[in-house]
Amino acid sequence: MARIELDLAHAYKPNPTRDEDYALLPLKMAFEDGGAYALLGPSGCGKTTMLNIISGLLVPSQGTVTFDGRDVTRQSPQQRNIAQVFQFPVIYDTMTVAQNLAFPLKNRKVPEAEIKAQVGRIAEMLEMSHQLDMRAAGLSADQKQKISLGRGLVRSDVSAVLFDEPLTVIDPHLKWQLRRKLKQIHHELKLTLIYVTHDQVEALTFADEVVVMTRGRAVQVGAAEALFERPAHTFVGHFIGSPGMNFLPAASVRGGLVVLGQPLALTDGHVLPEGPLKLGIRPEYLALGQAGEPNTLPATVTRVQDIGTYVMVTCEAGEHRLKCRLAPEAAAPVAGDTVHLRVLGEHTCFYKDEALIS
């Protein structure tokens, strides 16, 4: 158990000069003891690099990693007492399930009775008790991955358990089960868990805090609600949510707001910095107004999809496409209609240079 602090940068190439040379741009971050974290981002954003730096499989090219204030930058995973679960199941072919689960404890010379108790506990949590004496090599891929998870969770004294997209090989219906299991285990064992994924649903349901990453940068750290309501970066708005946030180019000219060439009046007394901006609004909050209503933008409906629980309206304002999510009972327009979009409201966010204006 430990509070993990990162203050580092990493480049796989020697002598990085430009931002693109870095796999991880200089960052400062802390993971609290006992928290459940997710590192979320598209492929190549640096999340696995960050995970391997935390675990000690990779030494950052600059900066430090500290556990409870103790510098562990050059320590091995063993010395840091880290457990890690990989994307593909790693099992020891010649051992039984029980021997696989006991392996990390056995290597640390834990007394036999304690090993037995701990293995039994973990096997029960993972619902593998009936398979303990089976040869691990004969099991299916998701069973094997459960063993890998079990080996990660079997040591009760670990500093943190790291997961590198551990559910990739698992069937969708089992994914839900295992994710719930992990969450439950987190509550029971109070371990620090850090979970890498590119699936926002996985990240948001698993973690208390989600670290959203893109291009080697951690752009926002926050709970699901914050990521949804106040995305700190246009990438977060775009990446979180399905579909993502709508963005429109806007400008602040002498205190007045101009969106797509149309002046709009800010009602809540927001003061925006002068110059080009971006207006962002979630499809869930984009509402349709009446014709002639002030502070609305006219747009042409191009597509209406009834998803069952909601109606998704796609429309175009100028060359910009916006999505709007309506309740199923609302009067939905049809393609070709002109609608008036209420783009201003309490959920509207403004961005300057991709960063949220607070």
Partner 1 sequence: MSTTTKPVNQKAWFLVLPVIVCVAFSAILPLMTVVNYSVQDVLSPDRRVFVGTEWFAAVMRDEELHLALWRQIQFSLAVLLVEIPLGIALALSMPAQGWKSSAVLVLVALSLLIPWNVVGTIWQIFGRADIGLLGYYLQQAGMEYSYTGNSTHAWWTVLAMDVWHWTPLVALLAFAGLRSIPDAYYQAASIDGASKWAVFRYIQLPKMRGVLMIAVLLRFMDSFMIYTEPFVLTGGGPGNATTFLSQYLTTKAVGQFDLGPAAAFSLIYFLIILLFCFVLYNWMQSLGTSEKEQGHG
Interface residue list for partner 1 (CB under 8 A): 55, 57, 76-78, 82-84, 86-95, 103-104, 107-108, 137-138, 140-141, 144, 148, 151, 169
Task: Supply the DSSP symbol for 151.
Answer: H
> 3-class DSSP state for residue 333?
coil
Residue 25's nearest CA partner among 43, 7, 40, 37 is 7
Closest CB to partner 1 among 100 and 246?
A: 100
| Cα–Cα distance for residue pair 122/128, rounded to 1 Å | 8
Q: Which amino acid appears at position 162 of this protein?
A: L
CB of 80 to partner 1, least distance (A): 10
CB of 33 to partner 1, least distance (A): 20
Closest CB to partner 1 among 39 and 158?
A: 158
Radius of gyration of the chain (CA): 25
Closest CB to partner 1 among 73 and 300?
A: 73
User: Residues near 171 by Cβ (< 8 Å), separated by ≥ 6?
Assistant: 142
CB of 88 to partner 1, least distance (A): 6
62 neighbors 8 (Cβ within 8 angstroms): yes
CB of 45 to partner 1, least distance (A): 20
Closest CB to partner 1 among 26 and 138?
A: 138
* Tokens 């969106």 belong to residue: 259
**Which H or E run includes 246?**
strand 246-253
Closest CB to partner 1 among 145 and 197?
A: 145
Closest CB to partner 1 among 83 and 311?
A: 83
* Tokens 């954003």 belong to residue: 45
CB of 253 to partner 1, least distance (A): 56
Beta strand 24-31 with 4-10 is antiparallel
Residue 115's nearest CA partner among 159, 158, 149, 155 is 155
CB of 157 to partner 1, least distance (A): 12
**Angle, to 10 degrees, between the axis of helix 112-125 and the axis of helix 172-189?**
130
CB of 169 to partner 1, least distance (A): 8
Q: Residue 114 to residues 53, 109, 134, 159, 162: CA-CA distances in angstroms?
A: 31, 10, 21, 19, 24
Closest CB to partner 1 among 53 and 264?
A: 53
Phi, psi angle pair for 244, to nearest 5°: -75, 180
| Cα–Cα distance for residue pair 69/33, rounded to 1 Å | 12
CB of 177 to partner 1, least distance (A): 20
CB of 345 to partner 1, least distance (A): 48
Closest CB to partner 1 among 140 and 177?
A: 140
User: Residues near 189 by Cβ (< 8 Å), separated by ≥ 6?
Assistant: 153, 156
Closest CB to partner 1 among 166 and 231?
A: 166
Tokens of 153: 């969770």
